[in-house]
Homo-oligomer: A and B are copies of this chain.
Amino acid sequence: MKGTLAVVGLGPGSAELTTPAVSRALAEATDLVGYTTYLDRVPLAANGQRRHASDNRVEIERARHALTLAAEGNKVVIVSSGDPGVFAMAAAVFEALEGGPSAWRVLDIRIEPGVSAMLAAAAHAGAPLGGDFCAISLSDNLKAWATIVRRLEAAAYGDFVIALYNPASRARPHQLGDALAVLRGLKAHDTPVVFVRAAGTSDVTMRIERLGWADPAHADMRTLVLIGSSRTRVIKCGGAMRWVYTPRSERDMP
């Protein structure tokens, strides 16, 4: 039996946001590999499927383990949250593939996309990504803080809408405050900043603030932070800020 490896994204949380393609891959797998928290979101299959749960920090080892299982002839699925290609497991699989035995290169590998946290957070806020946008992870586990600062500067120069992944964690409490300080020196202080926590789940909450006084303490590990371009606008409903959107056009509205 020829082994297969699918790297799938469950979407941001609700089963209603998991694509049928991903659900089918999960149901047909003989082996599921992933971070415990994500595996716990997968319904139990009837076929005696094996589950290989691991800690969140060992991505490359997990990828090698999954490739080894596939090379043994199993139908392996690596489970990511959101989309597997956005700050998730797909890149680790190709790192492992490139550095691994040549036999791995004949495996049937596919990536099954999912709704990313950024898209779910943007949908909850309205349409903040209506113009050109960028996504930056504030985690400096894998890259230098200087790289992050350079990207924030570039994003401001290009007037992109900015989606910040991994804005804060217990190990990195200062990142978001430092990033907002960089952006305050480069962008208008009334630029909308949206904190969306637990996007795509029934626990979702949102705060709309402004860059000049946005409080980084409002973000945690489950928060996605969206920072507007110069065109991004806030709409009030019943006196309260409810929607954030970026017009498609640079020109005045019709």
Contacts and interface: CB of A to CB of B under 8 A. Distances in A.
| Main SS at interface, chain A | mixed
Interface in A129-183: 129-137, 142-144, 147, 150-151, 153-155, 157-160
Given A16-B21, A17-B19, A116-B119, 5 more contacts: A84-B123, A90-B123, A97-B243, A113-B123, A150-B157
Copy total for this chain:
2
A217 interface: no
- Residue from the set A14, A21, A59 with the largest chain B CB neighbour count within 10 Å: A21
Interface in A74-103: 83-87, 90-95, 97-99
Given A106-B238, A114-B115, A137-B132, A95 B253 contact: yes
Interface in A1-57: 11, 14-21, 24
Interface size class of A (residues with CB under 8 A): 35 or more
Interface of A: 11, 14-21, 24, 59-60, 83-87, 90-95, 97-99, 105-106, 109-116, 119-120, 122-124, 126-137, 142-144, 147, 150-151, 153-155, 157-160, 200, 233, 235-238, 243, 245-251, 253-254
